[in-house]
Structure 1
Amino acid sequence: MFTTAWSASPQLPSEGFTPNWSREGFWRQSVRQVVRLSAGGGRLRVRLSNAYGASPVRIAGATVGRTIAGAGIEPGSLRPLVFADGIPARGETVSEPAELPVAAGESVTVTLYFDAATGPATFHAQAFTTGYRGEGDLLGDVGGEGFDAVSESWYFLAAVETDSGRTDGVALFGDSLTDGFGSTVGADRRWSDALARRTGRPVLNAGIGGNLLLNDSAWYGEKGVGRFRRDVLGVTGVDTAVVLLGVNDIGFSETGTEPTYKPAPVVEADELVAGYRELLRQGRGLRVIGCTLVPFGGSDHWGEHAAKVAHEVNEWLRRSGEFDAVVDLARELADPADPDRLRPSYDFGDHLHPNDPGYEVMAEALSAVL
């Protein structure tokens, strides 16, 4: 049985504050992308998404191999990936299984060659790892010399699945705090990576930077209550979902006139509670763990109303008993001198996102209740 060993939540082609190739798409180009697996196996398959594409996308060729460094692939590990068809408009496709033994914690490199124009590319904006683009068919370029452009986004790539047979996967569902903003780029130091190392379980990252629980965003993905079914319930091998979402719903209205921070309605605690209850309703059959909102005092998301709602939401999460368990990240990450702020040693620098040690603390706290 195949289970998901890595995933990324698809997004509408856009730029926002992350330069990328999604709007221009690809033509007569190869795209090489590196992902770190949280489950091993003897065979793997790759899932591609065209969720936001109005036309089918032709895959002229694809390969997978073990990553060495940069765009390089371990000699002798390169395997062809066979897709029966292209990626249908508004749909997805999965490759035939490829024989490639891999271990949990190992990285693999997926290369896609597009000989026809793709149009705008369904993508995941913030990968916090480097991807590569080169002109022409570079499927067999194990050294990676032909790849002369780089990006920190994933394109069309939605999941890598292995035949591990695992059914104890954990899906982390959230915004940039889950996506990994503030972690060291290319080092796999998100809290999903830390949790996989600590527990040995498959851990899937269903975070989207800037995501909102209650409203769709042109820049930051479909609202959480809308994408939960696809990005968590639709992922194979998951038995636990972890929800850390709501800071942007509260904070965008405090940020001023930044165009990417729209929509930005003033949200009350009872609206967020209703959103959490909708996720719990959809997630029946899974173990669903809630997380209190992290301290974000001093950030551009903070203000009098945000403070009030954050306190109310966190108290509801602690006391309601509606989640199967609750991880109190607000207390784990708080500055002892000011509980509304991140502890300085955990602060990436914007008073909103943790750094690598902060993400490690989050993973430690979550692992205690898994």
Structure 2
Amino acid sequence: MPEQARDRRRYEVLASSSGICDPGHLSGKLWWRRLYGNARADPTPTPTPVQRWVTAWADAPSDAFGPASSEQTFREIVKPTVGSRGTVRLHFSNFFGTMPVTIGAAHVGIKGTGAAVSHDVAVTFGGAASVTIPAGGYATSDQVAMTFAYGDVLAVTEYVKGSWTALTEHNQAGSNVTSYATAANAGDKTADAVGASFTGTIFNTFLLDRVDVYGAYAGTIATFGSSTTDGIASGRDQHMTYPEQLAAALHAAGRDDVAIANVGIAGTQVLGTDPTAGVNRFARDVTALPGVTGVIDYLGANDLRGACVKAETLIAGKQSIAAQARAAGLKLYLATTAPSTFCGAQNPSGFGSRFAEAPGEEAQRFLINGWVVSTQPSTVNGTAVQPPGADAIIDFNGALVDPANRSYMKPTYDSGDDIHPNPSGYAAMVAAIPLSLF
């Protein structure tokens, strides 16, 4: 099927599932823009790589984790989304901490087997081997001379000196990546290249929230969302989250100048007073990223599913995020919401039993998706709303939805919980993203 015909059919499925209009009434640039924004109808030049810092890897802080401990060393395993050009730095967050925390020593190298590391180098902070990060604060290391290729996996080792009640972390709800820890009170083991001191495994990331690289890059694209962005059910240590598969697709297309920063946090919503609500963390987790030029917004399913938020209320929150993106000069790539269960319940009969196309959350999701692709003011549940004004639309719903029952994703893409895709589903999401956007 020719590309335009295939994409028109994808739009027709989206339009039908959203109830926005009769797609037969759309023609030419109109239906194309509703699917892709202006990205293909009015192509913009690819950003020219310039010498800059970009975020090669990210894990947005989600909370502070206990129990209390002391004198412990952690070896965090991370896979950058671009190769380095020879210069690297590390960024640490104590955002959720209630007391200062001291990193007594830090190293970065290439991961070997298990907790082993090679090409390991010490990292300094203002010329010193250690740094104390105040409660709520951050620390950036000095730059390190280090070269690695796309596909290399890094080991960042940090000795946390003294004692603490809890450490700021990124909670990997899906336990996607195995990292390592010494026993409490083992002391500074950052120079242990063999890894024998690292007798424990962990699945959260403590303090470390970014690996930055410097060189000729086009920029950083942030992927903003909840557990599907974070990558639940993507396979332990497989690095098959949708942001990582997007990075692989860009690399395969010869675009090793575009970094992808995964700032998804499981369980988060657009709305709320919590620090992890999208409207509250966007500046901290997206606009603060070095070299950020654009953001894929795929946040909101938890508002629909868990909080049973009405579409017009969620739209107001999404508009706040869009306004923050525009104020920061970022390209906004807005994604349609794929099926993710009934409002307030998984389904009437439990896993393995499908309900008919549903009301409740699903009715609101259809309305949200109709708004996402809208280009004119409209009315949602009796409330006047403005179109999102995104630079492009990414149709994750069209990529994942089961056309036989639009309240579910395709069974071949379902991880088994009716919410999260499996690795093939994450690949389908990436296939729906035109790489020409970046």
TM-score (norm 2): 0.76
Q: 1:148 & 1:216 partners in 2: Cα distance?
A: 39
Tell whether 2:324 aligns with 1:282.
Answer: yes
Q: Which residue, out of 404, 411, 424, partners 1:344?
A: 411
| Residue-by-residue CA offset, 1:120-157 (whole Å, 9 max, x unaligned) | 11100005101111032211111111111111110001
Equivalent residue for 2:181, pick from 133, 140, 146: 133
Match of 2:272 in 1: 215
Deviation of residue 6 (structure 1)? 0.5
SS of 1:225's partner is: helix
TM-superposed CA distance for 1:345, in Å, is 0.7
1:213 to 1:48, Cα distance in 2 relative to 1, 3 A: same
Equivalents in 2 of 1:197, 1:367: separation in Å? 14
Counterpart selection for 1:110 from 136, 143, 156: 156
Which residue number in structure 1 is paired with residue 229 of structure 2? 178
Does 1:72 pair with 2:116?
yes
Check the 8 A contact 2:101/2:135 in 1, yes or no. Answer: yes
Q: How far, CA to CA, are the matches of 1:72 and 1:133 in structure 2?
A: 12
User: CA separation of 1:58/1:35 partners in 2, compared to 1, >3 Å: closer, same or farther?
Assistant: same
1:1-370 correspondence runs (5 A) = 1-13=52-64, 22-39=65-82, 40-74=84-118, 77-84=119-126, 85-126=131-172, 128-134=176-182, 135-200=186-251, 201-217=258-274, 222-252=276-306, 264=307, 266-284=308-326, 285-297=329-341, 300-301=345-346, 304-320=359-375, 322-368=389-435, 370=437
CA deviations on 1:167-194 (whole Å, 9 max, x unpaired) are: 4221000000100011001110000000
How many Å separate the matches in 1 of 2:339 and 2:74? 38
Per-residue deviation, 1:267: 1.2
Does the CA-based 8 Å contact 1:298-1:341 persist in structure 2? Answer: no
Q: Is the 8 A contact 2:305 2:342 kept in 1?
A: no
Give 1:259's aligned residue.
none
Asked if the contact 2:415/2:422 (under 8 Å) is kept, the reply is: yes
* CA distance 1:301–1:239, shift in 2 (3 Å): farther
Contact kept in structure 2, 1:172 and 1:207, CA below 8 Å: yes
Runs of at least 5 residues in structure 2 that lack an aligned partner in the other structure = 1-51, 252-257, 348-357, 376-386
Instruction: Classify the secondary structure of the residue corresponding to 1:319.
Output: coil
* Offset at residue 216 of structure 1 (A): 4.3
**d(CA) in 1 for partners of 2:91 and 2:408?**
40
Partner letter of residue 264 of structure 2?
G
SS in 1 for 2:236: coil
Tell me: CA distance 1:362–1:304, structure 2 relative to 1, closer, same or farther (3 Å): same
Question: What is the alpha-carbon distance in structure 2 between the residues aligned to residue 25 and residue 80 of structure 1?
Answer: 27
CA distance in 1, matches of 2:273, 2:180: 29
Gapped regions of structure 1 (runs ≥ 5): 14-21, 253-263
Identity across the alignment (%): 30
The structural deviation recorded for 1:103 is 1.7
Secondary structure in structure 1 of the residue aligned to 2:272: coil
Partners in 2 of 1:301 and 1:209 — Cα distance?
A: 17
Could you tell me how far apart the structure 2 residues matched to 1:246 and 1:233 are? 19
- TM-score scaled by structure 1? 0.89
Structure 1 stretches of 4+ with a deviation exceeding 6 A read: none
TM-fit CA distance, 1:105? 2.6
Structure 1, 289-298 or 311-320: larger mean CA deviation: 289-298
Deviation at 1:203, TM superposition (A): 0.5
Query: What is the match of residue 30 of structure 2?
Result: none
Indicate if the aligned counterparts of 1:195 and 1:367 stay in contact, CA closer than 8 A: no
Q: Secondary structure at the match of 1:204?
A: strand
Query: 2:104 and 2:397 mapped to 1: Cα distance?
Result: 48
Letter in 1 for 2:296: V
Give the structure 1 partner of residue 355 of structure 2: none
Is the 2:342–2:361 Cα contact (8 Å) retained in structure 1? no
The answer (yes or no) to whether the contact 1:318–1:328 under 8 Å persists in 2 is no
Query: Structure 2 CA distance, aligned partners of 1:301 and 1:225?
Result: 26
How far apart in 1 are the matches of 2:276 and 2:73? Answer: 28
The answer to whether the Cα contact below 8 Å between 2:341 and 2:407 also exists between their aligned partners in 1 is: yes
Give the whole-Å Cα distance in 2 for the aligned partners of 1:323 and 1:25: 45
Partner secondary structure for residue 304 of structure 2: helix
C-alpha change, 1:316 and 1:301, in structure 2 (3 Å) is farther
Contact 1:58–1:118 under 8 Å retained in 2: no
RMSD between superposed Cα atoms in Å: 1.7
Structure 1 residue 2: Cα displacement: 2.2
**C-alpha separation in 1, matches of 2:408 and 2:435:** 23
Task: Please list the CA deviations of residues 43-101 of structure 1 after superposition, one character each: whole Å capped at 9, or x if unmatched.
Answer: 21100000011221111111111111221102xx1100112431122110011111111
- The alpha carbon displacement at 1:111 in A equals 0.6
